[in-house]
């Protein structure tokens, strides 16, 4: 196995260099009208660093409230029927189940490579991140997918943690938002001949810093009931799903007070979680490119990547697929969102339906091919 703290090719190696001007500690999106109960993601405001501490946290807090709809709102108004969605959402981001024929039709003659987020995609979002278990049926479905397509799990979780949930050794795993990638020695039968077993960890030098910040956050946030700090090895997650909304600003200020002492780290907002990561040019999009390269599909015209995810961090992978001009990006969401994905699914149960249909479609295609 190749142990790579930098990336294989010269082009990809450039991707792990530290950002000269790291993003603000609390990047946040501009708010559109949020009266409908949802907000869309837009570019971070560059002037954030010049605001006062209170202004910065308050602005972040308002963004956080807008980007974290409750389960009740999400369940009551799914994307397909949300009154604010209208025909625009369903036209620009149709259901991947409804458009299944279009997706498979575009992949004819090409090798599908599957990329799957974990939380909110293969497993439901739960209050306790340590209990985000996937169902037995979902595991069986992913196992079947991997029989026909090279498959990778791309998660913000620690790679070892997400593997303990999935427990399928034949898959590739990219943990810590793609900063910890392992490709098994016994690769997929459909991998290219030039594929190789790889361990890629471009943020290794940040491990001592991450561990120090983790211990500081544990101590600083222990006064907030419901707050959970998760060590994902190359990044940290501060979960506030179980924190009273009245304490969100206090928690935000506590996280800021710790992270601002480390300019080489940045904070982003996910689904009821704050993600602390090294400020390097590496994300799930870079992980997707690296995985395709390592699997032997660099610059191949006969590859068709399919990426399914629900988080803001998955947008980096969606952007890569859009720029490549081929493949399918599928957003998992019950709420209308601005996204670079082309299709949508509402929840993990629909993801499972889509994957099962994909397996059945491939099985029939194989059976229909004459044996030589």
Residue 23: what pLDDT? 40
Query: CB-based contacts of 155: which residues, under 8 Å, 6+ apart?
Result: 117, 118, 119, 162, 173, 174, 175, 177
Q: What percent of the chain has pLDDT over 70?
A: 72
Residue 343: what pLDDT? 96
Confidence of residue 88 (pLDDT cuts 50, 70, 90): low
Higher pLDDT, 75 or 151: 151
Domain boundary among 253, 278, 303: 278
Contact 114, 321 (CB under 8 A): no
Residues 327 and 194 in one domain: yes
- pLDDT over 90 at 41, yes or no: no
Q: At 70, phi and psi to the nearest 5?
A: -75, 160
Residues 198 and 106 in one domain: yes
Domain boundary among 212, 247, 278: 278
Query: CB-based contacts of 144: which residues, under 8 Å, 6+ apart?
Result: 355, 356, 359
Confidence of residue 304 (pLDDT cuts 50, 70, 90): very high
Residues 151 and 286 in one domain: yes
Query: pLDDT (tens digit, 9 = 90+) per residue, 200-213?
Result: 999 999 999 999 99
Of 68-82, 87-101, 200-214, 249-263, where does mean pLDDT reach its minimum? Answer: 68-82
Residue 299: what pLDDT? 76
Residues 352 and 208 in one domain: no
Per mean pLDDT, which of 188-197, 272-281, 360-369 is the most reliable? 272-281
236 occurs within a structural domain: yes
Count of the separate structural domains present in the chain: 2
363 occurs within a structural domain: yes
Residues 183 and 215 in one domain: no
Mean pLDDT (the chain) is 81
76 occurs within a structural domain: no
Residues 132 and 192 in one domain: yes
Contact 60, 252 (CB under 8 A): yes
126 occurs within a structural domain: yes
Q: What is the mean pLDDT of residues 78-96?
A: 66
Which residues span the domain enclosing 137?
A: 86-202+282-367
73 occurs within a structural domain: no
Query: pLDDT (tens digit, 9 = 90+) per residue, 1-35?
Result: 555 554 443 333 333 333 333 344 444 333 333 33
- pLDDT over 70 at 121, yes or no: yes
Query: pLDDT (tens digit, 9 = 90+) per residue, 318-366?
Result: 999 999 988 999 999 988 888 999 999 999 999 999 999 999 999 998 8
39 occurs within a structural domain: no
Domain boundary among 278, 299, 318: 278
Provide the annotated active-site residues. 117
Strand order in the sheet with 236-239: 228-231, 236-239, 273-278, 265-269
77 occurs within a structural domain: no
Residues 227 and 351 in one domain: no
Residues 152 and 297 in one domain: yes
- pLDDT over 70 at 60, yes or no: no
Residue 51: what pLDDT? 41
Query: CB-based contacts of 370: which residues, under 8 Å, 6+ apart?
Result: none
Q: What is the mean pLDDT of residues 273-296?
A: 94
372 occurs within a structural domain: no
Q: What percent of the chain has pLDDT over 90?
A: 63
The CATH number assigned to the domain holding 140 equals 3.40.50.1000
The CATH number assigned to the domain holding 55 equals 3.30.70.1020
Residues 59 and 181 in one domain: no
Q: What is the mean pLDDT of residues 165-181?
A: 96
Residues 183 and 315 in one domain: yes
| SS3 assignment for the chain | CEEECCCCCHHHHHHHCECCCCCCCCCCECCCCCCCCCCCCCCECHHHHHCCHHHHHHHHHHHHHHCCCCHHHHHHCCCCCCCCCHHHHHHHCCECCCCHHHHHHHHCCCEEEEEECCECCCECCCCCHHHCCCCHHHHHHHHHHHHHCCEEEECCCCHHHHHHHHCCCCCEEEEHHHCEEEECCCCCCCCCCCCCCEEECCCHHHHHHHHHHHHHHHHHCCCCCCCEEEECCCCEEEECCCCCHHHHHHHHHHHHHHHCCCCCEEEEECCCEEEEEECECCCHHHHHHHHHHHCCCCCCCCEEEEEEECCHHHHHHHHHHHHHCCCEEEEECCCCCCCCCCEEECCHHHHHHHHHHHHHHHHHHHHHCCCC
Query: pLDDT (tens digit, 9 = 90+) per residue, 215-236?
Result: 999 999 999 999 999 999 999 9
Residues 197 and 247 in one domain: no
- pLDDT over 50 at 265, yes or no: yes
Residues 186 and 296 in one domain: yes
């Amino acid at each position: 196995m190749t142990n790579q703290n930098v990336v294989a090719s010269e082009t990809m190696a450039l991707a792990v260099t530290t950002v000269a001007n790291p993003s603000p500690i609390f990047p946040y999106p501009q708010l559109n009208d949020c009266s409908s109960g949802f907000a869309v993601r837009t570019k971070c405001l560059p002037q954030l660093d010049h605001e006062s501490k209170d202004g910065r946290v308050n602005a972040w807090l308002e963004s956080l409230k807008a980007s974290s709809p409750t389960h009740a709102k999400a369940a009551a108004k799914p994307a397909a029927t949300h009154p604010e969605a209208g025909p625009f959402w369903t036209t620009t981001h149709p259901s991947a189940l409804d458009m299944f024929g279009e997706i498979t039709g575009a992949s004819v003659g090409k090798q599908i490579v599957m990329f799957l987020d974990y939380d909110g995609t293969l497993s439901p979002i739960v209050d306790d991140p340590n209990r985000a278990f996937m169902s037995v049926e979902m595991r069986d479905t992913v196992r079947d997918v991997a029989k026909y397509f090279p498959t990778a799990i791309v998660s913000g979780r620690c790679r070892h943690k997400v593997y303990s949930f999935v427990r399928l050794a034949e898959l590739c795993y990219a943990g810590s938002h793609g900063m910890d990638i392992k490709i098994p020695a016994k690769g997929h039968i459909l991998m290219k001949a030039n594929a190789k077993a790889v361990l890629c960890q471009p943020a290794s030098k940040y491990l001592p810093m991450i561990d120090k910040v983790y211990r500081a956050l544990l101590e600083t946030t222990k006064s907030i009931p419901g707050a959970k700090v998760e060590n994902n090895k190359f990044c940290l997650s501060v979960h506030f799903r179980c924190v009273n909304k009245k304490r969100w600003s206090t928690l935000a200020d506590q996280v800021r007070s710790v992270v601002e002492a480390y300019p080489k780290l940045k904070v982003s907002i996910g689904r009821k979680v704050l993600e602390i990561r090294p400020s390097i040019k590496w994300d799930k999009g870079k992980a997707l490119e690296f995985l395709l390269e390592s699997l032997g599909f660099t610059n191949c015209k006969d590859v068709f990547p399919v990426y399914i995810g629900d988080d803001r961090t998955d947008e980096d992978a969606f952007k890569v697929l859009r720029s490549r001009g081929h493949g399918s990006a599928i957003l998992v969401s019950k709420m209308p969102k601005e996204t670079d994905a082309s299709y949508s699914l509402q929840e993990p149960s629909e993801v499972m339906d889509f994957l099962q249909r994909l397996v059945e479609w491939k099985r029939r295609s194989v059976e229909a091919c004459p044996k030589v």
